[in-house]
Amino acid sequence: MERGNRRYPARKTDPLRRLRPTPRVSRALLLALAISGCLPRIASAHTSQTVAPADLMRFWSPDPLVVVGVLIAGWLYARGTGRLREAGARSGRGPIIGTGRIVAFWCGLLTLLIALASPLDTATATVFSAHMIQHVLLIAVGPPLLLLGSPLAVMMNGLPRSWRRPLARAGARPLPAVVLGFLTLPAVAWILHATTLWLWHEPTLYQAAVRHEGIHFVEHATFVITALLYWWTIVPASRTARNSLGPGMGILSVFAMGMQGAALGALLTFWGGVIYPIYIGRSELWGFSALSDQRLAGLIMWIPAGSIYVVAALMLLGQWFRLDSEQSSLPPSAHQVIRAQTGETEHGPAVVG
């Protein structure tokens, strides 16, 4: 007997409930995002050759790998955003992902492009302060902006349908799930990121990174990957989801991360001598001594970078107040209803068919 009559009523299906990203798949996509964020770095035109300010703008690096890496990430995100918008329009629920999150992702992608493929990358071999600006962009600006855009679920929607289930099965395998689950534990991610920051500012390793392209790539790759792992514990995947720490512990985590960065900045600022002799004779091309350059780099790590963590803490505080207000005015099941109406999950927008 055909469906649709009284005995076999038509089954109503919600396209937004198909193939939601599981935590394991989300972690797998997080690692893929980290790798794709570092991919442009392989082809960067960084060199140990000194560059004067007048010649800097000639040193762009439009390498095909840079362009391809950005285009792939942008194409997947744009395609996923379009499919989510269409699904929201069909269901009458409105936009599944907000404009603010979309803008944040594109700003994060642009930040990585500026850090890795612009003349800024070339200047890092000549002036320490330029290198510190690059580091701040890679650890404190680009990664949180990318994660604010809910990239895991959105890019999952951008993948061809035939790829999604194999990817889900790969992410569900025991070894990757255990490894990625361990790396995204808040304490582990914090320690990894802070240790990476201090380790690469050890004089021997730092100067080796300036001299050798391969070591420089490893340095920036570890910066981006550990930053994504850390900010993954801080940035909520959606407006109705909490981060893995919760707002209160998230504020403490961000405060501690900002303090250790400020300590590194203060050390560079007030140290009595030049810590990285490789810049002696190079910074003078820009009109200041290596020691003045070092102090400027320390101030950049101390104040502008520290301000980013203050802003993050204030945003978490606002989220904490909002969640407390909602919990006091809504029944316990209300948040599940909101997620169902907006098509969001705890890991970001749902994946549509």
Which of the residue ranges 153-167, 188-202, 253-267, 302-316 would you say has the lowest mean pLDDT? Answer: 153-167
Q: Write the DSSP assignment of 256-283 as a string of letters.
A: HHHHHHHHHHHHHHH-SS-S-GGGTTTG
**Structure token pair of residue 208:** 């080796």
Q: Which residue has the higher pLDDT, 156 or 17?
A: 156
By the 8 A CB rule, do 124 and 46 touch? Answer: yes
Q: Which residue has the higher pLDDT, 320 or 94?
A: 320
Q: Which pLDDT belongs to residue 213?
A: 83
Give the range of the structural domain holding residue 261, as residue numbers without chain letter.
16-164+172-331+338-349
Share the mean pLDDT of the chain.
79
Token match 């690096």: residue?
Answer: 61
- Residue 113 maps to a domain: yes
Most confident of 35-49, 143-157, 165-179: 143-157
Residue 215 predicted with pLDDT over 50: yes
Q: Average of pLDDT values for 191-219?
A: 93
- Residue 2 maps to a domain: no
Residue 11 predicted with pLDDT over 50: no
Residue 141 predicted with pLDDT over 90: yes
pLDDT band at 51 (very low <50, low <70, confident <90, very high): confident
What is the per-residue pLDDT across 67-123, written as a single tens digit (0 to 9) for each? Answer: 687 888 999 999 999 888 887 777 777 667 888 899 999 999 999 989 988 888 888
Which of the residue ranges 33-37, 89-93, 136-140 would you say has the lowest mean pLDDT? Answer: 33-37
Token match 């409105």: residue?
Answer: 94
Q: Which amino acid is at 3?
A: R
Using DSSP, state whether 310 is helix, strand or coil.
helix
Q: Which pLDDT belongs to residue 62?
A: 59
Q: Which pLDDT belongs to residue 34?
A: 55
How many structural domains compose the chain? Answer: 1
Using DSSP, state whether 124 is helix, strand or coil.
coil
Which residues lie below 8 Å from residue 92, measured CB to CB, with a gap of 6+? none
> Of the candidates 337, 342, 339, which has an alpha carbon nearest to the alpha carbon of residue 95?
342
Say how far apart CA 194 and CA 59 lie, in whole Å.
31
Maximum distance among all Cα pairs of the chain, rounded to whole angstroms:
88
- Residue 6 maps to a domain: no
Q: Which residue has the higher pLDDT, 208 or 161?
A: 208
Q: Which residue has the higher pLDDT, 1 or 319?
A: 319
Q: Average of pLDDT values for 192-204?
A: 96
Residue 338 predicted with pLDDT over 50: no
pLDDT band at 352 (very low <50, low <70, confident <90, very high): low
Residue 20 predicted with pLDDT over 50: no
Q: Which amino acid is at 138?
A: L
What is the per-residue pLDDT across 240-292, written as a single tens digit (0 to 9) for each? Answer: 555 567 778 889 999 999 999 999 999 999 999 999 999 998 988 898 899 99
- Residue 3 maps to a domain: no
Say how far apart CA 16 and CA 341 lie, in whole Å.
10
